[in-house]
Chain A
Amino acid sequence: MQRYIARRVLQSFLAIWVMSLIVFSLARLSGNALDVMLPMESTQEDYDRLAKYWGLDQPVHFQYGIFVARALQGDFGMSWKWPGHSAMGLVMDRLPATLQLAGFALFVSVLIALPIGVLSAVKKGTAWDSGAKVIALLGQSLPGFWLGIVLMWVFAVHLGWLPTSGRGGIQYMILPAITLGWFQVAAIMRLVRSSMLDVLDTEFVKLTRIKGLAEWKVVWKHCLRNASIAPLTFFAIIAGVLMTGSVVTESVFSWPGTGLLAIDAVRARDYQVVQAVVIVFSAIFIMTNLLVDILYAYLDPRIRYR
C-alpha cells in the first residue's frame, strides 16, 4: 500500500513538472510580451530597457532554469500586468472565488441530478425516465456562454430577480452556478440512476420489500445509501472539469476568479501569471485524482496490485 502511494505521488509530481514545461514553452511561443505591454509610441530604447528589466533578454533555457529554481521555492515571479503583485499571490487571491463557484455549481448539479436520477431509476422506461434524461442531456447540449447570457437576460434584466454579474452574496452565485453546473447534471444523474438500478435489483432490497417496508423507505433509506459509492470517483473528475469550465462562465458573469485572471493574463502576455494559473489548475486536478485513487485503493484492494 505504501509503495503504491509513493509511486502515485511521484508520478503526480512528474505530471506537474511536464505541465510546467508545456506551459512555459507555449507562453514564450505566444509572442513577445513587450508588444502587448508597451504603448505603440515606445522607442527601441524602451523595448531594450524593459526587456532587461523583466529578464526577457536572457536565452530561453536560462529563463526556464530561473523559473524552475524560483518555483520550487514557491516564487512564480512578479506579474507584469499588475505590477507590485506576485504571480502566485494573484492566483491565490482569486482561487477562493473559483473554488466557491465550482463548489456551489457542484452542489446545484447534485441538487438537480439526485432527485431526477432517482426518479429516472425508479420509474424506468416510462415518460418520467425519458423526461429526466432529456433535462440532463439538455445541459450537455447547450453552449455554456450562450446559456449564461440568456439566463442573465431573462433573470437579471427582464425579471430583475438576480444581479447580472460580480461577486457578493449568494444571489450573485446562482446564475453562474447553473450555467457551470448544468453540464454535469447528466453525468451525475446517469451515475445515480445506474447505481440505483443495480441496487434496486438486489436480494437485500427484495427482502426489505417482502418485509413490508413502504416503497419510499425502501428507495431512499436503503438503496440510496449503497448507491452513493460510485459517484465518489467522479466527483474528482467533475471538480476538475468545473474548474476549467469556469473560464467561460467567469468571463460572462465577470466573476472574479482564476479563470478570468487567466484570460486577462493570456491577453496581456503576462507569462508569469499564465504559468502560475495553469500549474495551479493542473496541480489541483492531479492532486484530486491522486486522492481519489488512493481512496479507491483503500476501498478496493484489487487495485493496489495492478
Chain B
Amino acid sequence: MRLRLTVVLITAVALVLGLVSTTTPAAAQAKVEKLVFASAGFEDTNRFWMVARPDHLQFDPFLETLLEVDPKTGTYTPRLAEKWEASPDFRRWTFWLRKGVQFHFGYGPFTGKDVAHSYALTQRPEAKMTLGPFWRGVEEVKVVNDYQVVFYMKKPATTMDYAVSRAGDFRIVSKAQWDKEGLEGFDKRPAGTGSYRYVGRQQGISITFERQDNHWRDKPAFKQLEFRIVREEPTRLAMLLSSEAHIADLPRELQKDALKKGMKIFTSTFPVDWMTVYLGGQYYLPGDPAFKPDVPWTNKKIRQALNMAINRKELNASVFAGKGTPTYVTGWSDKSEGFNSEWASRFDKMYGFNPARAKELLKEAGYGPGKPLKFKVVAFTEPGESEGPQVAEALGIYYREIGIETEIEVLDWAKVREMFRKKAIGCCIWPNIISWRPSEEWIRTSYWSKSPNHHYENEFVDKHYEMLTNAVNPQERDKVARTIGDHLFEEFADIPLFWFANEVMANPKVVGEWVYPGLGAGRSTHFHLIKATK
C-alpha cells in the first residue's frame, strides 16, 4: 500500500512538473509588424536619471530631447526646441520650445514646465548620469513662459547643445504625469513625446514600444518595436538568422557569418567609439604619493617603444576585420575641438610599427635580455564590447617579439575601475573603449587630476584644462584644446589604436534603409528612420 502510494506520488510529481508549461504566450511575432532588435543588453529601468549614456538606447524611441542630431551631417537641429541661443559668456542658454507637442497617454501638451521638471529629476539623490557633473553645473532653470526656458550655468558651458541633444542624456518627461501618479506611475508607464510610446517591459528581458500616430514629425514604418536583452553573442546571431530578430548587435567576429547568410550591415554615419591602450600610474603632479618611479613607462622611451612594437595595420585587419580608422591622440576625432591635422603626418614616424627601434628604445631605457621588462595587461569585456581580451592577447604576442614578458589578466570592469580609482593601477596597461564626447569632457574625465577616474595627470594639462573651462571664444578654445592634444601626442601618453563606426546587422528582407549618425547615447538610434523593404 505504502509502496504503491510512493510510486503514484513520484509519477504524479514528475508529470506535474513536466507538464507545467504555463500559458506564457510566445512573443507575438505578427510577421513584420513588430521589429525586433537583439541587443547586447542595457541597464533596464525607466528612471533615465540613473542610466549611463550608452544604455539610453532604451529611451531613444519614446523619450525625446530638446535638440536633434542630424543623421547625415551630425549637426544639432531643432527637435523639441525650435530655436536656441547662448549668451556671449555661455553662461545663459535660452531655448524656444515647439508648440503643439502632445505627451503620450493624454498627459497634455509639452511646455516649459516639463523641461524644468526633467531637470529636477537629474538632481535627485539617487541620480547617476554620464553627464551628471554637467547637470550639476546648472545654477537654475527658469521657465519664462510656456514656450521659453532659460538655463543659467555656474561656469561657461560651450557644450550645452551637445548635452541637450540626442547625443546627451537629458530626456523630457511629463510633469503632469508625475504630479498625478508620482514615481510609481512613472515606473509603470512613462509618458514621453516620441514617435513610439512605451508599452511595457519584462525586467531583464525586453522592452516594447508601439507607434504613436499623429506624432509632430516622424512617421515610423513599423507599428511595434521590441528591444531584447540577449547576452550571448552566438544566441543573437542565431536569432537573426532564424528571423526571431530582425536587427542584431553582433561582434565583428560574427559579422562574416551573418553576411554569408545574407544579412546586411548598417553603419553609422560617424565614428562612435575609440579603442586605446592606457598606461596606468602616470601621476606626474609633483608630490603625488601615487607616483611610483619604478613604473616602467614613466620613462618616455618605454612609452614610445610600447607604441612602436604594435603592428596596427595587422591588428586592425585581424581583430577588427579592418573596420578601424587610425586614431592619433586618444579622444580626438577631426570633429573635436583642438584637432591637429599634423598628427596624421607625424604619426608613422613617432608611433609606427618598428620593432627594431622599439628594442633599441628598451635597451636605452635599461631593459634587455639581462633585465627583461615584465608587466600585466589587464582586459575586461562589457556587453557589446568584446574585443578587450583579444587585443590584450595580441599585445602579449607583439611584446613577446621585442622581449617583453606580459601576463594577461581578464578582470571585471569594476575591478579595473577600482584599481584606477585607488590609483593602484601602475602595474598594468589595459585596452578600453570609450565613446565620443567633446574634448573638454574627455580631458576632465581622464586627464584631470581632480577626476576620480583619471589615469594620467600632469601640471601642464591641469593648467590648460582650467583655461579651457573658462574660455568662450571658439578660436581660443581650439587653441587651448590643441595645446593639450599636442602635449599628449608628444608625450606618448597612451597607445592610441582605432576609431570605429557603429555597425549593426539587419535582415535586408525586412530592413530596407536606415541612416543614423552613431551617438554615444545608444550607438544605434533613430529607429523611426528605418524604412521597411518593399
Residues of A that sit less than 8 Å from B by CB: 31-33, 35-47, 49-50, 53, 81-85, 90, 93-94, 96, 100, 102-104, 106-108, 110-111, 149, 152-153, 156-157, 160, 163-173, 225-226, 228-229, 231-232, 235, 251-254, 256, 260-261, 263-264, 267-269, 299
Given A104-B21, A168-B26, A228-B6, CB of A41 within 8 Å of CB of B130: yes
B511 within 8 A of A: no
A residues in contact with B202, CB < 8 Å: 256
How many Å lie between the Cα of A167 and that of B202 in the bound state? Answer: 11
13 additional contacts (CB under 8 A) given A50-B128, A152-B238, A235-B10: A31-B418, A35-B417, A39-B129, A39-B130, A46-B132, A49-B125, A83-B45, A153-B234, A156-B238, A169-B21, A226-B3, A254-B231, A256-B202
Nearest 9 A/B pairs, CB to CB: A107-B18, A103-B17, A168-B26, A36-B414, A164-B238, A35-B417, A39-B52, A170-B21, A39-B130
Query: For residue B444, which residue of chain A has the nearest CB?
Result: A41
Which residues 233-254 of B have a CB within 8 angstroms of A? Answer: 234-235, 238-239, 241-242, 244
Q: Choose one: A106, A149, A160, A256; the contact of B205 (CB below 8 Å).
A: A256
**B1-42 residues at the A interface, CB under 8 angstroms:** 2-4, 6-7, 10, 13-22, 24-27
Beyond A31-B415, A267-B412, is A41–B26 a contact (Cβ under 8 Å)?
Answer: no
Complex CA gap A157/B450 in Å reads 52
20 sample A-B contacts, Cβ–Cβ < 8 Å, listed by A number: A35-B418, A39-B53, A39-B130, A84-B47, A100-B21, A103-B20, A106-B18, A110-B14, A157-B241, A164-B242, A164-B244, A165-B232, A167-B24, A168-B24, A169-B24, A169-B26, A171-B26, A228-B6, A229-B3, A251-B231
B10 touches A83 (CB 8 A): no
Q: Which of B4, B130, B204 is close to A261, meaning CB atoms less than 8 Å apart? A: B204
Q: A36-B414, A231-B10 are in contact. Are A149 and B21 (CB under 8 A)?
A: no
A228:B128 contact, CB within 8 angstroms:
no
Q: A235-B10, A264-B204 are in contact. Are A225 and B4 (CB under 8 A)?
A: yes
Contacts of B52 in A (CB 8 A): 39
- A31-B414, A156-B242 given; A251·B25 CB < 8 A: no
CB atoms of B18 and A172 under 8 A apart: no
| Contact present for B20 and A225 (CB under 8 Å) | no
Interface flag for B445 (CB, 8 Å)? yes
Complexed CA–CA distance, A252 and B237 (Å): 12
Assess whether A42 is in contact with B235, with CB atoms less than 8 Å apart.
Answer: no
| CB-contact partner of A38 in B26, B128, B239, under 8 A | B128
Specify which of B44, B230, B242 is in contact with A157 (CB 8 Å cutoff): B242
Query: CA of A103 to CA of B100 in the docked complex: distance in angstroms?
Result: 55
Which B residues are CB-close (under 8 A) to A225? 3-4, 7
Contact assessment for A228 and B232 in the assembled complex, using a CB-CB cutoff below 8 Å:
no
Tell me the minimal C-beta distance from A249 to chain B in angstroms: 11
Interface pair B18/A46, CB less than 8 Å apart: no
Given the known inter-chain contacts A82-B44, A261-B204, please indicate yes or no for A35 contacting B10, CB distance below 8 A. no
In whole angstroms, what is the CA distance A36 to B383 when docked?
13
**B442 to A, closest residue via Cβ:** A41
Chain B proximity of A199: nearest CB distance (Å): 11
B453 interface residue per 8 A CB criterion: yes
Q: Are A165 and B238 in contact (CB under 8 A)?
A: yes
Residue of A nearest to B130 (CB): A39
Closest CB-CB distance, B125 to chain A, in whole Å? 5
B232 touches A252 (CB 8 A): yes
Give the CA-CA distance A299 to B44 in the complex, in Å: 50
Residues of A within 8 A of B232 (CB): 165, 251-252, 254
Min C-beta distance of A106 to chain B, whole Å: 6
B413 on interface, CB distance cutoff 8 Å: yes
Cα separation A172 to B52 with both chains bound (whole Å):
33
Which among B26, B131, B235, B444 is the interface contact of A252 at CB below 8 angstroms? B235
Are A173 and B238 touching (Cβ within 8 A)? no
Contact B235–A165 (Cβ < 8 Å): yes
Q: A169 vs B205: C-alpha distance in the bound complex, in angstroms?
A: 16
**Interface presence of B421 (CB below 8 A):** yes
| B242-A163 in contact (CB<8A) | yes
Complex Cα–Cα for A231 and B3 (A): 13
- Find chain B residues with CB under 8 A from A96 CB: 22
Say whether A83 contacts B47, CB under 8 Å. yes
CA distance A152 to B202 in the complex (A): 23
Q: How far is the CA of A46 from the CA of B16 in the complex (A)?
A: 51
What's the minimum C-beta distance from B79 to chain A, rounded to whole angstroms? 24
Residues of chain A contacted by B235 (CB below 8 angstroms): 152, 164-165, 252-254
Q: What B residues does A40 contact at CB under 8 A?
A: 417, 445, 453
With a CB–CB cut-off of 8 A, which chain A residues contact B204?
82, 94, 256, 260-261, 264
CA distance A102 to B229 in the complex (A): 22
Q: Whose C-beta in chain B lies nearest to the C-beta of A295? A: B6
B181 in contact (CB, < 8 A):
no
In the assembled complex, how far is the CB of residue A95 from the closest CB belonging to chain B, in whole angstroms?
13
The answer on a CB contact under 8 Å between B25 and A168 is: yes
